[in-house]
Amino acid sequence: MREALSRSHRPRSGQALRDWLIFQTLPGAERAGYYRDAPRGRRSGDSLYRDAKSCQGRMITEPVSPRSRSDAPFYSLAALAGIGTGWVDVEINDLLFTALLVLMACMLLGLLRPRWPWRWVIVVAMFVPLTELAAFTILTVKPTRGQAYGSLLTALPGMAGAYGGAVLRRVMDNLRERK
């Protein structure tokens, strides 16, 4: 390949040759005007290298699932859902209702942010026993031993909800793309 290039087109270093070969495969490089500093017949390898480096800032690369905003509001929503679920568990003392609330919160968070759904289970399920501990230390409400151990088991329906929400979101995205 190097011999096929005329002397004026020959890059001066191995890195410049690699950049030149990669840059030549970009569609529309001539139309976009990236070779401004040299006429069409007189491009040196250094000008190609500089032009390839200068246009890297203008190229748009996008991840598979673009993240337009931070996950901090979702983490705070998960913490509030966990605290609220823990408070309901202390007041009502119904493990099935607590599991249903954790399932709904994790499913909603998995639907909103399907990437790494296990994180929503950790955040929501972590605050349920912490709320019961706070109720034990601050308030006069004393949770039973079974209620304390049961609050740790709320992670199981939470896992099902978070992954179910993530799968539902991916299915919805696939159906939207096919239209």
Residue 3: per-residue pLDDT: 54
pLDDT for res 9: 54
Tally of domains within the chain: 2
- The letter for the amino acid at 123 is V
Altogether, the residues listed in the chain come to a count of 179
What is d(CA 18, CA 8) in angstroms, rounded to the nearest whole number? 17
pLDDT given for residue 24 in this prediction: 59
Which residue segment(s) compose the domain that 127 sits in? 72-178
Residue 118 lies in a domain: yes
83 and 133 fall within a common domain: yes
pLDDT for the residue 80: 97
Q: 63 lies in a domain?
A: no
| Distance set, CA 41 to CA 10, 34, 35 (Å) | 12, 15, 11
Q: Kindly list the averaged pLDDT for each block of 10 residues, start to end, along the chain of length 179.
A: 53 62 56 49 52 55 57 95 94 92 96 94 95 88 81 92 96 89
Distance of CA 68 to the CA centre of its chain: 9
What per-residue confidence (pLDDT) applies to 23? 57
Q: Is residue 66 one of the residues assigned to a domain? A: no
How far apart (Å, rounded) are the C-alpha atoms in residues 98 and 101? 5
